[in-house]
Amino acid sequence: MTGAPVLDIREVTKVYGSGDTAVHALRGVSLTVEHGDYVAVMGASGSGKSTLMNIIGCLDVPSSGDYLLDGLHVGGLDERRLAILRNRRIGFVFQSFNLIPRMSARANVELPLAYGGVRAAERRRRAAAALREVGLADRARHEPNELSGGQQQRVAIARALVTAPTLLLADEPTGALDSASTADVLAVFDRLARAGRTIVVITHEDEVAAHAERVVRLVDGRVA
């Protein structure tokens, strides 16, 4: 497992629909991400970024080609196994934060642990640690609507980190943030990358891509 790359995508295609109306979102994308990499996937809208993100995140399955996550074949897994994979291996950060309303920051961060079957005391400890890591230890009891956009996104990052996933997958993480919050969030990513985390950021902003060690550009469903 340690020898295998975190992401090993081989000639993956994704086709929506069929016949004349078929949309080829991905036309054979190959991508390898090693442990500790900080990769930015860039592309204009319609380039297939979101489709790639869904496939990497095990939210969708490719039409053809192979996808190995941590050396494990993802194709052909059922919904239940995909859920377990998402829970243990992947931490998501979304553009629109996607925190559950009316649940405190800590409860939101604990959520993946709850589905992972971690005991309550352990969950609390790890959630507190994750919130400390993003600098929000003092906001644990606040609900999402009591937090600023930047703070919400940092809670979302804490939630993504809390299971110690092999891959942190961020989809336009700064798309809904002002410049100060953007800087906050990017600083958190930088720190995580230095700590050896594997991060894939999907973005169309050069400013965000500039923080990454490697930039992959998607054009019309292919790596340019």
Q: Is 80 in the site for other proteins (CB under 8 A)?
A: yes
Stretch that binds other proteins, among 54-62, 144-152, 175-183, 191-199 (CB under 8 A): 54-62
- Specify the stretch interacting with other proteins by CB under 8 A; choose among 94-102, 147-155, 204-212, 214-222: 94-102
- Does 76 interact with other proteins (rule: CB under 8 A)? no
Select 169 or 209, whichever has its Cβ closest to other proteins. Answer: 169
Residue pair 55/14 in contact (Cβ under 8 Å)? The answer is: yes
Counting residues that bind other proteins (by CB under 8 A) gives 27
Q: Does the footprint of other proteins cover residue 67 (CB under 8 A)?
A: no
From the CB of 219, what's the least distance to other proteins, in Å? 23
Query: Whose Cβ is closer to other proteins: residue 35's or residue 88's?
Result: 88
Rounded Cα gap, residues 213 and 215, in angstroms: 7
Binding-site string for other proteins from residue 111 to residue 140, where x marks contact by CB under 8 A and - marks none? xx-xxxx-----------------------
Q: DSSP 3-state helix, strand, coil percentages of the chain (rounded to 5)? A: 40, 25, 35
Q: Which residues of 150-164 are buried (b: 16+ CB within 10 A; e: fewer)?
A: bbbbbbbbbbbbbbe
Residue 154 is a binding residue for other proteins (CB under 8 A)? no
Residue 59 binds other proteins (CB under 8 A): yes
End-to-end CA gap in the chain: 29
The answer to whether residues 136 and 99 touch, using CB atoms and an 8 Å cutoff, is no
Write the DSSP symbol of residue 14: E
